[in-house]
A and B are shown apart, each in its own frame.
Chain A
Amino acid sequence: MTDTTTTRPFTAASFDQYIAEGKLMASRCADCGALNLPPRAICPKCHSETLEWVETGGKGRLAGFTVVYIAPTFMIEQGYGRDKPYVSGIVELDEGVKVSARITGVDAAQPETIKVGSPVSVEFIETGEGEGRKVALAFKVE
């Protein structure tokens, strides 16, 4: 099996492909070492075009969150909404970069109990099968 880890383009499609494989990948600048999430094809810090994929450790802290009651259509289709709210948040990884993700391991009915700063670890939420299979990035509050 060919290792495509170093050859995939720095695109949203590649990022999603990694997520589907259960990997949260960031791009790292080979010249200045800056780590970026979402991945970039050009380093925003030094403008180098030499980048590499690196897998994050998947551990971090909750930087901000919300419990969504008025949901977008694709979440309504998954059964979420007023009667079944869900949690989305922004996580700061131990590596220092942040990412938007679903948040699990908390009680959406009691938002006051969810704390900014809580330690979290990555997980992947799978829905659908076959062609319709989707994997969403999530973090579980430990």
Chain B
Amino acid sequence: MPINKLPRGVAIVGAGMSKFGAFPDKNGRDLFVEAYKEMTRSVDKGLDPSAIECFYLGNFSSDLFERQGHTAPLLADAVGLTPIPAARVENACASGATALRQGVIAIASGLYDVVLVGGAEKMTNLPTADVTDTLATAADVPFEIAAGFTFPGFYAAIATAYMARYGMKPEHLMNVAIKNHDNGALNPKAQFGVTIQKWMEGRVAAALKKGKPAPAWSDIWDFLHDDSANPMVAWPLRLFDCSPITDGASAVLLVAEERVREFTDHPIRILGSAQASDAALHDRADLTSLPAAKLAASRAYEMAGVTPKDIRIAEVHDCFTIAEVVASEDIDFFAPGEGFKAAEDGMTAREGAKPINTSGGLKSKGHPVGASGVAQAVEVWKQMRVEAGERQVPGDVPLAMTHNVGATGSTCVVHIYERRD
């Protein structure tokens, strides 16, 4: 299949996100307003909202989470953008990046010059069992859910296949959680913006305050092996292997290349945009890799005309720790079976050769499903423009990647970004 180039250049000229977390007094719309306001303030030369011609919203399941459908026009109205066209895009956890890609296509086609892309999800209204059931609708319900699978369960099955093939141990996955919490601790927007060390110390302090005996964890590894501190969710995945249930929203502004200078002198150009789909997990030859992710990544590389070694940082879809390990191989940062060793060796840390999830990732920053794909672009925007504060990676970030997965890889969307001052 020939690789299509974008017929017209597209760049991000503004990006913002709400705080991620659990907010009983805010709905998805309120959170999107926060993200939108931050996005407008990030446009260097200012934004006249009447310039925005179209809106794509990534949202997985406002219907079940909030009992609110037809979400896109409501969010457009909340930020004063009606009557422009507003459309919700649903591709499970890849809804955000799919919406981003629709925005890219809309501009590349020549139809629009200025497009708003948002993502929003309000998840914490429901009790955990209902959230589990809602997320399960992203699977192949008649053929996978009847078998008792949950989303942690699917990725756990991927982990067991990976462990059997490559000799990884469940402990190796903890390196991913530790690293992402280290990054998230430096991200003021993160839901769990603390290191696992601080988390553990907090648990000890809380116990002492209640007059209870302090738990005697010798270090974070001891803490992470404790079934009471880090309970099993779906063996071999424990609580700290899983991204949380999160409320949050994100927004980016896309502009056609020839109009970029009206908005900023420091745009982030979309160099590659690719997407692939796949059957359910059981219908794949190999469980240790996501074929849609490999395909989307290779097409994005080809469209961008760059190679994995050119990419300075990546935000990948770490809905579970094993997902980051597999992702780091699917985007060809590391060879198959090497991803868990790279995480152990610190190669994916901020100071490493291939920093992954400098934002804290879904694990620590939080995973408001439909918002996550767009929030990955927000992090890349900040890092490339040297606006990431304490978590800024050393040196230049001329090229970056985002990798957003729906379900167990029935959808994967990969974007490659270039700083173009």
A102/B148 in contact, CB under 8 A? yes
- Residue B144 lies at the interface, judged by CB distance under 8 Å to chain A: yes
Q: How many residues of B contact A (CB 8 A)?
A: 40
Residues of B within 8 A of A90 (CB): 157, 281-282, 287
- Residue B1 lies at the interface, judged by CB distance under 8 Å to chain A: no
Residues of A within 8 A of B163 (CB): 116
Chain B proximity of A134: nearest CB distance (Å) = 9
Q: Please, could you name 5 A-B residue pairs with CB atoms under 8 Å apart, sorted by A?
A: A69-B234, A71-B132, A73-B133, A80-B148, A100-B280
Q: Kindly identify which residue among A63, A68, A98 contacts B148, using a CB–CB cutoff of 8 Å.
A: A68
- Residue B140 lies at the interface, judged by CB distance under 8 Å to chain A: yes
Give the nearest-CB partner of B154 in chain A. A66
- Chain A, interface size category, equals 35 or more
Residues of B within 8 A of A65 (CB): 156-157, 160
- Residue B284 lies at the interface, judged by CB distance under 8 Å to chain A: yes
Q: Mark B234-255, 1 if CB is under 8 A from A, else 0.
A: 1111000000000000000000
Q: Kindly identify which residue among A71, A89, A99 contacts B150, using a CB–CB cutoff of 8 Å.
A: A71
Q: How far is the CA of A85 from the CA of B282 in the complex (A)?
A: 22
List the 7 shortest-distance A-B pairs measured between CB atoms, nearest first: A66-B156, A64-B157, A116-B164, A12-B142, A100-B147, A67-B235, A64-B161
Main secondary structure of the interface of B (DSSP, over half): helix
Give the nearest-CB partner of A75 in chain B. B148
In chain B, positions 112-129 with a C-beta closer than 8 Å to chain A are 128-129
Chain B proximity of A18: nearest CB distance (Å) = 13
Q: How far is the CA of A97 from the CA of B143 in the complex (A)?
A: 14
Chain B proximity of A50: nearest CB distance (Å) = 21
- Residue A119 lies at the interface, judged by CB distance under 8 Å to chain B: no
Residues of B within 8 A of A64 (CB): 157-158, 160-161, 287
Give the nearest-CB partner of A36 in chain B. B283
Q: How far is the CA of A127 from the CA of B338 in the complex (A)?
A: 44
A98/B283 in contact, CB under 8 A? yes
Q: How far is the CA of A18 from the CA of B154 in the complex (A)?
A: 25
Q: Kindly identify which residue among A38, A66, A73, A98 contacts B153, using a CB–CB cutoff of 8 Å.
A: A66
